[in-house]
């Protein structure tokens, strides 16, 4: 199954929904989905890819400008080697099967996270898909792969420290904007909404800095079951939230 090349654009304001500028998704519960059906965990991950395609289609059709999905965390290295290899293979297969459709839908892809420990063929694939989609102006799809929020802040801190050591930056000139610009998500708005499936209520090292004011929405269903109905229910929940950003009056987003 591939993403439909002719995705209908259904403007969501007609549904009375506020559309986040950036959605982060922790796609959790592939293993439990598989276990509940007596299947191998890898089958859960394959269904997870189908759910990811549905999510991308929905973000395109509802004109969500930025989407970041958590697909392999820096902590996932503790899983069995076979499962790790399978998830790495899925990234290869996802790119191979969906790149043409993503291009046709003007999607820009960025893989955020550390390249350390990744095989050179995977690094080449990442560089290639980023280069091919660089000039696309539609949905920004960030795939967090070998990503950890604390590690990201460490990398940013090292970069800033090097700038100071080289005399290009004074410590007193370091601001929140300096840190934000040194993160993998430089130039992107912070997520307005972070969604996690599978009933777990944790952020698990995902977009720690960027998610400071994100609305957190947790849904019970496992990631492979993610559907349009869930997507709309999550947007309804987000629309109903009052966002004050530490102030006393609701802000529009």
23-to-26, 45, 95, 149, 168 alpha-carbon distances in Å: 10, 21, 21, 16, 34
Q: Which of 76, 136, 190, 225 is catalytic?
A: 76
Active site (annotated) includes residue 116: no
- Least distance between ligand FPP and beta carbon 133 (Å): 14
CB nearer to ligand FPP: give 36 or 233: 36
Q: Tokens in use for 199? A: 């009933």
CB nearer to ligand FPP: give 114 or 239: 114
Residues 6 or more apart in contact with residue 101 via CB below 8 angstroms: 2, 3, 4, 5
Task: Indicate the pairing of strand 193-196 with strand 22-26.
Answer: parallel
CB nearer to ligand FPP: give 60 or 156: 60
Active site (annotated) includes residue 76: yes
- Least distance between ligand FPP and beta carbon 149 (Å): 15
Q: DSSP 3-state assignment of 109?
A: strand
**Residue 1: DSSP 8-state:** -
Q: Which of 4, 8, 28, 30 is catalytic?
A: 28
Q: Tokens 């007596």: give the residue.
A: 38
Task: Say if residues 249 and 230 touch (Cβ distance below 8 Å).
Answer: no
- Least distance between ligand FPP and beta carbon 45 (Å): 5
- Least distance between ligand FPP and beta carbon 89 (Å): 9
Using CB under 6 A, list all residues that contact ligand FPP: 27-32, 45, 48-49, 52, 71, 76, 87, 90-91, 94, 143, 198, 223
- The separation between CA 211 and the C-alpha centre of its own chain, rounded to angstroms, equals 12
Residue whose beta carbon is closest to ligand FPP: 31
Task: Say if residues 50 and 3 touch (Cβ distance below 8 Å).
Answer: no
CB nearer to ligand FPP: give 109 or 156: 109
Catalytic residues: 28, 76
């Amino acid at each position: 199954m591939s993403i439909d090349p002719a995705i209908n654009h259904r403007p969501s304001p007609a549904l009375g929904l506020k559309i986040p500028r950036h959605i982060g998704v922790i796609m959790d519960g592939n293993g439990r989905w598989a276990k509940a059906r007596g299947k191998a965990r890898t089958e859960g991950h394959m269904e997870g890819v189908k759910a990811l395609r549905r999510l991308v289609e929905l973000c395109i059709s509802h004109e969500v400008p930025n989407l970041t999905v958590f697909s392999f965390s820096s902590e996932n290295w503790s899983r069995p080697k076979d499962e790790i290899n399978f998830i790495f293979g899925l990234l290869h297969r996802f790119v191979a099967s969906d790149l043409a459709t993503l291009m046709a839908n003007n999607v820009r892809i960025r893989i955020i996270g550390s390249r350390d420990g990744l095989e050179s063929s995977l690094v080449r694939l990442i560089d290639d898909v980023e280069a091919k989609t660089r000039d696309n102006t539609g949905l920004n799809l960030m795939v967090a792969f070998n990503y950890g929020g604390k590690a990201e802040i460490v990398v940013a801190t090292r970069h800033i420290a090097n700038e100071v050591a080289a005399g290009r930056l004074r410590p007193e000139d370091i601001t929140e904007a300096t840190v934000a610009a040194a993160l993998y998500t430089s130039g992107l708005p912070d997520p307005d909404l972070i969604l996690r499936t599978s009933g777990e209520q944790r952020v698990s090292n995902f977009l720690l800095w960027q998610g400071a004011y994100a609305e957190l929405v947790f849904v019970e269903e496992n990631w492979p079951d993610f559907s349009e109905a869930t997507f709309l229910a999550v947007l309804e929940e987000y629309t109903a939230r009052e966002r004050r950003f530490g102030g006393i009056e609701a802000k529009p987003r």
